[in-house]
Amino acid sequence: MTTPTPNTRHLGILLFDQMEELDAIGPWEVFAWWTQHFPGDGYAATTFSADGGPITCEKSLVVQPHHSAASVPALEVLLHPGGDGTNAQLDDPSHLQWLREQRSHVPLMTSVCTGATVFAAAGLLRDRPATTNRTALDQLAQIDSTITVRGGERYVDDGDLITSAGISAGIDMALHIVGRLAGAARSREVREGIEYAAEASN
């Protein structure tokens, strides 16, 4: 495990009850493999939940975060997963306000699957292109009609905000983020390292 330094830039994955497992674990594999094999790039991956306590995922996997929202280091990238747990977040004023606060100082906000609907509810996607799980595309448009909804795309990069489609698409988005932060060659090395291909060859 790489020991962060004062200059380390942190990639944080939010964890919460009833999140979809692969929305978080897929990107975690990408970020953790990258940062542990190439510490010289200056990044570290971490996870956090609201109170730092363990969370139970949609399919019953229990995960212990590294931090609480209060103790997590300042983030360069924040990743918000999706899953059934996002239904409650859509009407949670404190969570939506917390996201708006993060938006003001986190350089890159990202979502996987229905995490985009929570971003929309917080007003983060107003007048922007975005995608989400194919089953939630209509919901995304209903939450905020100003969003240019892009179905059929694995992820949509709009500069300081990236949204991805459902579940496994988060892996593709995470590899794209590695490419943005450390270059296309590094992204290819990570893809090869985790033996991942966006489309199976057989």
Q: What does DSSP assign to residue 54?
A: -
Under the banding of pLDDT at 50, 70 and 90, the label for residue 1 is low
Q: Which positions are catalytic?
A: 113
Question: pLDDT higher for 5 or 92?
Answer: 92
d(CA 99, CA 118): 9
Residue 141 pLDDT greater than 50, yes or no: yes
Count of other CB atoms within 10 angstroms of residue 100: 11
Residue 5 pLDDT greater than 80, yes or no: no
Of the candidate ranges 2-6, 11-15, 149-153, 160-164, the one whose mean pLDDT is the lowest: 2-6
pLDDT in tens, 16-66: 999 999 999 999 999 999 999 999 999 999 999 999 999 999 999 999 999
- Cα angle at 165 between 190 and 39, to 5 degrees? 25
* The pLDDT of residue 125: 98
pLDDT in tens, 94-111: 999 999 999 999 999 999
d(CA 95, CA 60): 23
Edge-to-edge strand order for the sheet containing 75-80?
67-68, 43-49, 9-14, 75-80, 108-111, 161-164, 155-157
Residue-level length of the chain: 202
pLDDT in tens, 153-184: 999 999 999 999 999 999 999 999 999 999 99
pLDDT in tens, 71-94: 999 999 999 999 999 999 999 999
Under the banding of pLDDT at 50, 70 and 90, the label for residue 202 is very low
